Structure 1
């Protein structure tokens, strides 16, 4: 099912939860709505589900007007599946009954699915790896198994659109990784369009075809995970998604000169968005910087804090530009003096000067 969100607004009293949101989602696409608490992402999902009516604009599902300020199709007429944050399983139903329920009771269930109910239940349980647990009750399941049941129930009636609202936030770290793979597998197997709401940057980057980054009820940027992470268009996206350090300085055409140190270093900025040029900043991700022993002609800093993360160290480094976050495989101790390099940018710039 394709989705068109056109100039959608949503207000609650005097509070504007959504501000003129425009978004197109293709049939079969996996789109993550990413943002902090209060940014409007769950409100947008509720509008798609039919739980809320927009204050302005239109929601078009599969070429059919689903909602405007004057009308809203109820959820049961939208042929959607929904996975909630808290699983929402019924304690008196076993696993198979949970999958059977939407097949029998959703008005939009395709006739062929109704006729082959038993086969469809077996197919869906096999898809989520629960074929041996059809008779288990919710209290007999682990957290990950409960989430699989919720997903199985949501896709049982072959919905045209699957909505997922922070579905993994209540699981531990290892289960979240496993469930990411399960959700990707379900998406590949069913071809159903998925709109996935999350505040977790890792989830969005790992699973989605496209990411929609929201802040204060507005869309900040839409793009592939690579575009969002590597080529942020706003300060908020740079800091929220890729944890970039925003370095102050001056721009001369496509060259950036950090200010505030005794040395002058030039960084190439061909791929840096116009937003940062206007504000006199340069976004540098923590993984872009290299740390080394102090040397002449390099930016200098001192290690304020160290967090060991297994294959790498996460450092807070005090520099003359402020405090930076740096990710490096090289071990340093708190209080060490270090040099900082942005090698790729510096090499490109040296080539420019050599011409």
Structure 2
């Protein structure tokens, strides 16, 4: 299913949750909607699901209008599946019955699936690794198993669009990693388009074909994970996604002279976005620094916090009135003076 949002806005009273959103999602594409709480990502998902009507603008699915001011095609007519943050399992139904429910009750379930209900349920349970647990009740399942049931139920009727609203946020770290792989596998096997809402940058970067970064109801940047991480276009994207430090200085075309360098060394910045150049800033991720003793040239700073992370150390380093986050394999001690430069890698 291809999706197009055209100048979509949504107001709740005087509060504008979404403002003039333009977005295209291709058939079979995995798109992550990324942003902090309150940025409008869940509102966008609810509009795609048909739970809300846009205040202005239009939403098209397969080039057919499904929502505009005063009109929204109901969810049951959109051939969508949804996975919520809460598992939303029914306590009186076993696993098999959960997966059977959408096949029988969704208006858009293909006739071929209805006619081969048992085969479809068995296939879906096998897909999510629950083929042996069909008779289990929700209270007999672990958190990861419950989330797999929710996934199986969402894909059972073969939706053209799968909507996920922070589905992994209630799981522990190890389970989240396992479920990431499950969701990627399901995406490959079903070919459904996926719109995945999250505030977790790691999830978005690991799974999505494209990422939509949102802030205060606006789309800040749309791109592949590599584009979003390596080439942010705004200060917000640089800080939120790649946790970049914004280094002050001045630009001479594509050459940056960092403040405190006394003009003896410069950084190349051909790929740095125009917004940063206009503001006299250079975004530098924590892993792009070269940390060394003060005997070497560079910006002078002091270690104010250090955390050992196995193969590397995570530092907070005070540079004049600012604190920078830096990752380095080299060991320095608290309150030690260091020299910082942009790494050549």
- Please, what TM-score do these two structures have when normalized by structure 1? 0.95
Retained in 1: the 8 A contact 2:257–2:263?
no
Q: Secondary structure at the match of 2:291?
A: strand
- Whether contact under 8 Å (1:263, 1:297) holds in the other structure is no
Q: Distance in 1 between matches of 2:195 and 2:300?
A: 44
* More off after superposition, 289-298 vs 145-154: 289-298
Matched, 1:15 2:21: no
What residue in structure 2 maps to residue 101 of structure 1? 101
- Offset at residue 260 of structure 1 (A): 3.4
Q: CA deviation at 1:290?
A: 1.8
CA distance, structure 2, for counterparts of residue 116 and residue 252 of structure 1: 67
Aligned counterparts of 1:247 and 1:272: Cα–Cα separation in 2: 12
Partner of 1:205: 205
Corresponding residue of 2:26: 26
1:260 and 1:320 in contact (8 A); partners too? no
Contact 1:263 1:299 in 2 (8 A): no
Q: Alpha-carbon deviations, 1:218-258, whole Å to 9, x = none?
A: 00000000000000000000000000000111111110001
Matched, 1:307 2:314: no
Q: Tell me, what secondary structure is at the counterpart of 2:53?
A: coil
Q: Is residue 141 of structure 2 the alignment partner of residue 124 of structure 1?
A: no
Aligned residues of 2:32 and 2:195 also touching (Cα < 8 A):
yes
Partner of 1:349: none
User: Do the aligned partners of 1:313 and 1:329 also contact (CA within 8 Å) in 2?
Assistant: yes
Shift of 1:50: 0.4
2:284 matched residue in structure 1: 284
Pair 1:249-2:249 in alignment: yes
Q: Distance in 2 between matches of 1:261 and 1:267?
A: 10
**Contact map agreement 1:261 1:320 (CA 8 A) in 2:** no
1:77 equivalent in structure 2: 77
Q: Is the 8 A contact 1:260 1:321 kept in 2?
A: no
Which residue is 2:267 aligned to?
267
Q: How does 1:301-340 map to 2 (within 5 A)?
A: 301-320=301-320, 322-340=322-340
Q: 2: CA distance between counterparts of 1:66 and 1:264?
A: 60
Contact 2:17 2:39 in 1 (8 A): yes
CA contact (8 A) 1:82 1:162 kept: yes
Q: Deviations over 1:53-106 (max 9, x none)?
A: 000000111121110002110100000000000010001100000000000000
Query: 2: distance between equivalents of 1:221 and 1:212?
Result: 6
When structure 1 is superposed on structure 2, of 310-319 and 128-137 the one drifting more is 310-319
Distance across 1 between alignment mates of 2:151 and 2:101: 13
Q: How big is the shift at 1:309? A: 2.1
After TM superposition, give the deviation of residue 262 of structure 1 in Å: 4.7
Correspondence for 1:177: 177
Distance 1:297 1:321, change over 3 A: farther
Q: Take 2:102 and 2:183, find their aligned partners in 1: how far apart are those partners?
A: 19
Contact 2:305 2:334 in 1 (8 A): yes
Structure 2 counterpart SS, 1:344:
coil
Most deviating of 312-321 and 189-198: 312-321
* Structure 2 residue runs without a partner (length 5+): none
1:188-199 matched pairs, under 5 angstroms: 188-199=188-199
Deviation at 1:265, TM superposition (A): 2.4
Partner of 2:149: 149
Unaligned runs of 5+ in 1: 346-355
In structure 1, the residue matched to 2:239 is 239
Mean CA deviation greater in 29-38 or 293-302: 293-302
Q: CA deviation at 1:263?
A: 5.8
Name the counterpart of 1:351.
Answer: none
- Report the Cα offset of residue 343 of structure 1: 2.6
Take 2:136 and 2:292, find their aligned partners in 1: how far apart are those partners? 56
C-alpha distance in 2, partners of 1:118/1:272? 55
CA-to-partner distance for each residue in 1:130-185, whole Å, 9 max, x for gaps? 00100001111111110000000000000000000000000000000000000000
